[in-house]
Amino acid sequence: MTTITQIQPLDVPSAIVQRRSIKTFKSDPIAPELLKQLVELTVAAPSSFNVQSWRIVLVQDEAQRAALAAASWNQKQIVQAPVTFVFAADATAGEQDLTPILEKAQETGAWNEATVGYFKNAVPQFQAGLGDKRREYAIKDAIIAATHLVLAAESLGLSTCFMNGWIEDQVKAVIGATDNPDLAIAVLVPVGYAAEPRLNPGRLPYDYNVFVDNINNPYQG
C-alpha cells in the first residue's frame, strides 16, 4: 500500500496535466495522515471574505458509501473508493457568527483591527445583498475547495473523479442534512487509488472558448 512517506509530491503543472477522472478504484485504504493532509490542503482554498462556506463530509463507512452510491445513480466509484468527499455549501455562512474567522485573522496578523471592523459589517451586508444568489456564491467556495482537493490528491499519488451525477435530496438524506434548506450539495469527489488508467479525452482548440478582451475575439494561442 502506498503511504505518505513514500510519495514525492508532483508539482502543480504536472498534477494538472496528469489528472484524469478515474472511474474504477482499488479498495486500498488511504493512510489517516495522508487523508488529514488532503483535508488540510482542501480547506487551504480561498473563499469569499474567507467565510469558508463549504461543509465537507468525508463518507467512509461502508453502509454510508453504499447509500451515497444509491443517491448517485449507482455510480460505482463511490462504493469502490475508500472515501468520497461530499462538498456541501452553507448559503447562510456569511450570516453566522463570524467571530472565529475574524479572531483567527487577527491572530495571524493578516487582518488588523480596522479590517476586522470593516468585515464585521461588510460581510453580513454583502450577504444580504446577494438574496437568491447566496446559494450560488456558497457553491463557488465549495467548488474551489474541491479543485484544491483534486489537484492535491493527484500530487500525492491518489486519483479522483468530480461528480455531478447525484440527486441532491438523496445525498442530503445520506449526510443527515434533510432538515437544512440552506445547505446545497456542490459536488462529490471520490478519492482513492486508481484501478485502471484513463486516457485524456482532450480539449477544444483555444479559439472555441478562450478570448482576448472581448467574447468575439478568439485567442489564437
Ligand X SMILES: Cc1cc2nc3c(=O)[nH]c(=O)nc-3n(C[C@H](O)[C@H](O)[C@H](O)COP(=O)(O)O)c2cc1C
Binding residues for ligand X (CB under 6 A): 20-21, 23, 75, 161-165, 187, 198, 200-201
- Cβ proximity to ligand X: between 116 and 143 the closer is 143
Least gap, CB of 144 to ligand X (angstroms): 13
Least gap, CB of 194 to ligand X (angstroms): 11
Least gap, CB of 113 to ligand X (angstroms): 40
- Cβ proximity to ligand X: between 21 and 50 the closer is 21
In whole angstroms, what is the distance from residue 145 CA to residue 59 CA? 17
- Cβ proximity to ligand X: between 184 and 187 the closer is 187
Least gap, CB of 103 to ligand X (angstroms): 34
- Cβ proximity to ligand X: between 20 and 140 the closer is 20
